[in-house]
Structure 1
Amino acid sequence: MIKTSLRILLVEDRESDVMLIKRQIKKIVKNPVIEVADNLEDCKNHLVNFAPDVVLSDYNLPNCTGLDVMELVKGFDSSIDFIFITGTIHDEELAANTILNGASGYILKKHMNNLSEKLEPFLKKVVVNMVARDELRERIRNNKITVNQIYEYLDKINTDNVEHVENIKKIKEAMNRFNIGDDAE
């Protein structure tokens, strides 16, 4: 059982398949958060407002193909894992093309009864990638903090320099008045 809560976007137009897939996901993920879309517009909205960890998509949808959905997802965030769950990919060349175009994998709907067994390795990989990305995000965040601290220090130096330059200017002006005063005598 995967204990990490996964945010899953399911792109599927058949309500019966949605229910079956959700049931299978709940067998392997303790607390999944699942949103459903059946068109590109809703999918885009979920990418922006839901921020899924993984997208599961049918290949044949009423208004687009799964490749259209994958292109949208990968264009939005190439690090989001994308898995086809479809009855359409019978052609090995088409299946290979989905992988070459960026899919993390595909599962045929004829395996719906044991979908959890087929899906679990993919979702475990998603969790491992999430942990790695979280570690990377933490390092990036720490680096940004360090860079911000350096910028703050440099700004302080610049501020100090401005004060030094102004003080030097005042000293030079005072010295020039002193020198002018000497010439007058």
Structure 2
Amino acid sequence: MIEIPLRILLVEDNEADVLITRRTIQKLVRNPHIEVVEDLGSCRDMLINFIPDVVISDYNLPTCTGFDILHLVREKDPELPVIFLTGTIHDEELAENTVLAGASGYILKKYMNNLEEKLKPLLNQVVFRMSEKKEIRERLRQNKININQINDYLDNLKDDNRDQKENISKIKKNIRDYNRDKDEDDRKT
């Protein structure tokens, strides 16, 4: 079982397929967060507001095609994995074109009774890619920490310079006051 609670966007208009896919995902992933949409507009909103780890999409939807979904996903996040779960792809050429266009994989709906077996390796790839990104995110986080520390150091230098300038100004003022007092004393004598 995948222990990372994946955020999955399911683009599907058939309620029976939604139920089967949900149950299968819940067998494969501990505590998945699954959002379901049926059209391109809702998919766009979820890509902006939900930020999924993977998109699983039917290929033939009432208002758009799988290529439309894939194009939208690539526009929003070129690295986001897209898996097609479809009954439309009957010939190998269309399946190859789907993968060549950037899909991470596809599963024919005629294999819904083996969906767990077919979906598991694809979700494992998603998790593997996430772990690679986790290292990159950790390096970015560490770089941000370093940059923040450098900025803090520079701010302290500025403060030190400001303090030094203030001290120099005070010293100059004291010297002027001393000279003025000395001049007054000299005039009195």
Unaligned runs of 5+ in 1: 179-185
Looking at structure 2, the residues matched to 124 and 55 of structure 1 have their Cα atoms a distance apart, in angstroms, of: 14
Looking at structure 2, the residues matched to 42 and 123 of structure 1 have their Cα atoms a distance apart, in angstroms, of: 23
Looking at structure 2, the residues matched to 157 and 56 of structure 1 have their Cα atoms a distance apart, in angstroms, of: 53
Matched residue of 1:10: which SS?
A: strand
The Cα of 1:141 is off from its aligned counterpart by 0.9
Q: Which runs of 4+ in 1 moved over 4 A?
A: 165-176
Partner of 2:128: 128
Partner of 2:49: 49
The Cα of 1:93 is off from its aligned counterpart by 2.5
Matched residue of 1:102: which SS?
A: coil
Q: Compared with structure 1, are the counterparts of its residues 173 and 26 closer, same or farther at alpha carbon in structure 2 (3 Å cutoff)?
A: closer
Looking at structure 1, the residues matched to 116 and 69 of structure 2 have their Cα atoms a distance apart, in angstroms, of: 23
Equivalent pairs counted in the alignment come to: 183
The Cα of 1:33 is off from its aligned counterpart by 1.8
The Cα of 1:32 is off from its aligned counterpart by 2.0
The Cα of 1:166 is off from its aligned counterpart by 5.9
Partner of 2:5: 5
Partner of 1:81: 81
User: Which is greater in Rg?
Assistant: 2
RMSD: 2.5
The Cα of 1:99 is off from its aligned counterpart by 1.5
Letter of the 1:150 partner, please give it. Answer: I
Deviations 1:88-143 (A, max 9, x none): 11232222222222111111111111011011001011112222222221221121
Alignment of 1:99-110 (within 5 A): 99-110=99-110
Matched residue of 2:5: which SS?
A: coil
Unaligned runs of 5+ in 2: 180-189
Looking at structure 2, the residues matched to 167 and 23 of structure 1 have their Cα atoms a distance apart, in angstroms, of: 72
Looking at structure 2, the residues matched to 71 and 169 of structure 1 have their Cα atoms a distance apart, in angstroms, of: 64
TM-score, normalised to structure 1, is 0.84
Partner of 1:182: none
Looking at structure 1, the residues matched to 60 and 13 of structure 2 have their Cα atoms a distance apart, in angstroms, of: 9
* Stretch deviating more after TM superposition (136-145 or 44-53): 44-53
Partner of 1:64: 64
TM-score, normalised to structure 2, is 0.83
